[in-house]
Amino acid sequence: MSIARKLVDLREQLGMTQQDLRKATGVAQATISRIERGVLPHPKLDVLRRLAEALNVTVDYLADRTEEMGPSDVVSADPRAQAIFRGYQELSDDQKTALVGLVQYLQKEKKRKQKERGG
């Protein structure tokens, strides 16, 4: 996934506008817009650092050095993941095991449905 797509997705997940991101980072809104439109595919490292910090992800993820968000990236970037993590901390060991089983089941169901649709 491109930095442009990641930036838009992360910003929207956090409910931020480009203007909000500008205020949080000090990066010009025009620069943010150019990155999101793919006009500026390789922003300066300082810009990447400020954007990553504001979006609660690593520079490596944002700069497309990795396709996978690390666990801390996922939790930081998604309020739903934060709620799950807070709830997870309060569960017993048996409940945590059951939750992992549920996640694995949901992943299998997603794959099964994708196969049915030919994807």
Q: How many helices (H) and strands (E) does the chain have?
A: 8, 0
Q: Which pLDDT value is given to residue 116?
A: 85
* CA dist., res. 83 & res. 95, Å (int): 16
What backbone torsions phi and psi does residue 44 show, to the nearest 5 degrees? Answer: -60, 155
9: pLDDT strictly greater than 90 = yes
Produce one character per residue of 14-40: b if its CB has 16 or more CB atoms within 10 Å, e if not.
Answer: bebebeebbebbebeeebbeebbeeeb
Q: Which pLDDT value is given to residue 110?
A: 87
Mean pLDDT for the chain overall: 87
79: pLDDT strictly greater than 60 = yes
* CA dist., res. 92 & res. 117, Å (int): 38
Q: Which pLDDT value is given to residue 67?
A: 57
3-state DSSP assignment of residue 111: helix
